[in-house]
Amino acid sequence: MQDFEKLGVFYLGKEYDTAAGALKDDLILYDAKDLTTHAMMVGMTGSGKTGLALALLEEAAIDGIPSILIDPKGDLGNILLQFPDLQPADFRPWIDEAEAARKGMDPEALAAKTAESWRNGLASWGQDSDRIRRLREAVDMAVYTPGNSTGRPLQILRSFSAPSAAVAQDTTALGERIMSAVSGLLSLLGIDADPVQSREHILLSNIFNNAWREGRSLDIAAIIQEIQKPSFDKIGVFDLESYYPSKDRFKLAMSLNNLLASPGFSAWLEGEPLDVQRLFYTPEGKPRVSVLYIAHLSDAERMFFVTVLLNEVLAWMRAQTGTSSLRAILYMDEIFGYFPPSANPPSKLPMLTLLKQARAFGLGVVLSTQNPVDLDYKGLSNCGTWFIGRLQTERDKMRVIEGLESAAGAAGSLDRAELEKLLSGLGSRVFLMRNVHDEGPVVFQTRWVMSYLRGPLTLPQIRTLSSAPQESAPEPAVQAPPVAPAQPVEVATPGKRPVFPPTVPEYFLPVLGGSGNVTYRPAVIGIADLHFVDAKSGTDVWTSRTLLAPLSDDGCDAVWEESERRSETKDQLDTRPVENAGFASIPSGATREKSLDAWKKSLARYLYQQETLTLWQCREVKLISQPNESEGDFRARIAQAHREQRDEEVARLRTKYASRLQTLEDQLRRAEERVEREKAQASQQKLNTALSIGATLLGAFLGRRGTVGTVSRASTAAKSVGRISKESADVQRAAENVEVIRERLNALQAQFDEEVAALQTGFDLLRVELQPVEIRPRKSDIVIGTVGVCWVP
């Protein structure tokens, strides 16, 4: 069997002869880079789409490529059912007892039969337990259940946070994100709103636009408040009250409030934040396969979630650098209803944008459906690869052929008659693949998948899959405990507030959880901007630091060495205390005007001596981390850079070997043609000799000619026998020449494969050595901003 463990290719199956109904020897090795032009899978129930999809995703996972799988039916969770030992006990928890009863078997017997079937099936396709282990070790796998705590819940409303500055400045990108977010939110309320005609849609779009352009994030509570009291008083040229009276706006606010107050909605507020980077990679940088199970949601909830997710993927994509290598995969099963030909559900626009733009960022989009007549084939013309399985009706075949012709475009016209013939001969697990990067369509049978195809999973089964120890969800940010003053203090009575010179600013940390019985304690706050510059690493970045330090015993200085780092900006600090608050006593030196200058000087000195920007450097791929980039995210970027370098090196090797391989292939073709010619000549010579000998014998038997003629014919026949021997020798020599050339070709191919395989040897993402790079600010690059007394509740 041919070697399928090659870099940058996915082993999908073997070519299939539809006329003979048999497999061929040629493997289907799909180039991973071709997936950046996206793929479409079409086939009726039972055609084997799920098996093909999991085979593709398994190959990507082995290659360290992360993926997000949107699972409306529950089939894709099967990718977690991998059993390297292939023992009956591994399969037993997943055996359908009703199926065992129908077959007249007990579940244990069916588990044993299934284990044997999987072991034999994998072996027949050249796979074994070690390959399953490689798959399990290559990626992390997780099942998320938005709106439900059975698996790993997701916080969806985080996705109303303000987009990045790059998106906010891009009018088109911002408009698309606003329209999809608003449409998804209204669909959750059961409102089918036209973006141009609907008052609800236009009002919410203006609310989102104003907030996001100001950098303000929104949640449901904030949206309800904005609906009742918008930050604008006109929509277009009309006054707000004329266009959308407050009484009508209150009804919309009540609908959102009812949604927020419903018991089931609380599940949407729990779990991990919807972070696409974390769906693709673990915090340590390991690639992840994330199954987003939404089979339990209503149609409106599914549409809302899919729309929000696609917008988040778009935002993540636009933050990446361009690449020609495959970076990640977004797969959606059963796209029906989310990408229709005429209607415009909220999911359609972000999906179409992904199909048009994701290629430049190395994101491969793979879509699947069993309803080919209900898809927008003009949009799907962006899919460069089509996998077509068995179809149910002639109408389905015609629609698929139209889609193929649209996708082919400039790549060349297709033979409709040939396509119809091929599509009619497809059976279970047999697909026609049309890849615009290849010369023509090919029919193949999918390989045996390593994951156990148990069928759609239920929520209880998802709970079982999720019961293994997992990475804990990030905890919500909690305000750090206040800094205790360096000296003992006495609580003052309410309202007794120390007096400071007018040049000493006072700030108050916000009070959380109410304002009763609040006592403020004194500290010093310092906010500064630091400029980190390093030509060698190409770093040139400004960062802000907020420090909260206790006062010295006499109050004349701040103890910055004991300070804590805070996240507050100046705008987030209060300038007034809460009512009826008490104040702790403060050292007399803190109330002196000159103490403020001392605090500023000591802060600048502390920042210069202690503050550094620590980056990570990977010499292997010549990369340096970005400011505020975690080690795990940097390792994920290293993996992509390594993949890009590897693909470039493989392309260079292909170019290097291409002419030599082509020369040998041409020689082999000519040698094989010569063998055929020699065989034909030998066969003709045998026929001529047989005829000559027959004529000689017949003449001698009938005695029609003289002795001389008979002797002459006998001599000619004898010479023909000699020529037969010569022709046979020529055939033998030509065949030997074919074998020699074939051996040379195989040796050169093996040499090429060996050099390609060496490119991957020894690379382990999680063990790549990183060297810290510390950058210190210059004194002139420290800008002291706000310094003053800060009262800590």
What pLDDT digit, counting tens, does each position of 43-72 carry?
998 899 999 999 999 999 999 999 999 999
First and final C-alpha spacing in the chain: 73
Cα(359)–Cα(626) distance, rounded to whole angstroms?
24
- Crossing angle of helices 129-138/49-62, nearest 10°? 70
Phi-psi region of 285 (alpha: psi -120 to 50; beta: other; left: phi over 0): left
> What are 157-206's pLDDT values in tens digits?
655 778 877 777 888 888 888 887 888 888 888 887 888 888 999 999 99
Give the other-Cβ count within 10 Å of 299's Cβ: 10
DSSP code per residue over 327-395? -EEEEES--TTTS-SS---TTHHHHHHHHHHGGGGTEEEEEEES-GGGS-TTGGGG-SEEEE---SSHH
Cα(33)–Cα(778) distance, rounded to whole angstroms?
45
Q: Report the DSSP beta bridge partners of residue 545.
A: 528
> What are 715-733's pLDDT values in tens digits?
555 555 556 666 677 777 8
Average confidence (pLDDT) over 513-519: 69
> What are 647-661's pLDDT values in tens digits?
888 888 888 888 888
What value does the mean pLDDT of the chain take? 84
> What are 301-351's pLDDT values in tens digits?
899 899 889 988 988 998 888 998 999 999 999 898 899 888 888 889 899
What is residue 250's predicted lDDT score, i.e. its pLDDT? 92
Residue type, position 726, single letter: K
Average confidence (pLDDT) over 668-681: 78
> What are 22-31's pLDDT values in tens digits?
999 899 999 9
pLDDT of 224 above 50: yes
Average confidence (pLDDT) over 573-596: 86
The model carries a pTM of 0.75
Lowest mean pLDDT among 353-357, 601-605, 705-709: 705-709
Cα(340)–Cα(377) distance, rounded to whole angstroms?
9
**Mapped to the 3 state alphabet, what secondary structure does 102-144 carry?**
HCCCCHHHHHHHHHHHHHHHHHHCCCCHHHHHHHHHHCEEEEE
> What are 522-544's pLDDT values in tens digits?
999 999 999 998 888 788 888 88
Q: Report the DSSP beta bridge partners of residue 366.
A: 39, 331
Percent of the chain with pLDDT over 90: 36
Cα(314)–Cα(358) distance, rounded to whole angstroms?
8
